[in-house]
Amino acid sequence: MPNPRDIFIGSKPLHSYINAVRTTMSEGERVIRLVARGRNISMAVDVAEVCRRRAGIIAGKLPEDIDVSDVELATETFPRDDGGTRNVSVIKITMEGHADMHEEE
């Protein structure tokens, strides 16, 4: 599998990330990885599911077949102001688009 292109998920609206997936795939990158930490993990799962199901106007322009090929779970440790550390959960969802993109309307 080729190296995936990372899309970092934050606090923007859902459609912003779906549009980022569509734009990336339309540029020829058919393997992408959604990366999210902490509270943004649920948004990454939502983006993956909407893209996979091709639900909505923006996602409807994605390739006919999008597979979730890998899900990685991890914990990253960050330093705190008081000298301690804190753990933050991380998810990486790899998706692959197959078939042709739908034409812009």
Domains, the chain, in order of start with CATH, read: 5-98 (3.30.110.20)
CB 14 within 8 A of CB 50: yes
Query: The pTM is what?
Result: 0.89
**What pLDDT score does 103 carry?**
59
pLDDT digits (tens, 9 = 90+) for 42-96: 999 999 999 999 888 888 889 889 999 999 999 999 999 999 999 999 999 999 9
Residues 6-27, mean pLDDT to the nearest whole number:
95
Cross-sheet strand order for the sheet of 65-79: 5-8, 31-37, 85-98, 65-79
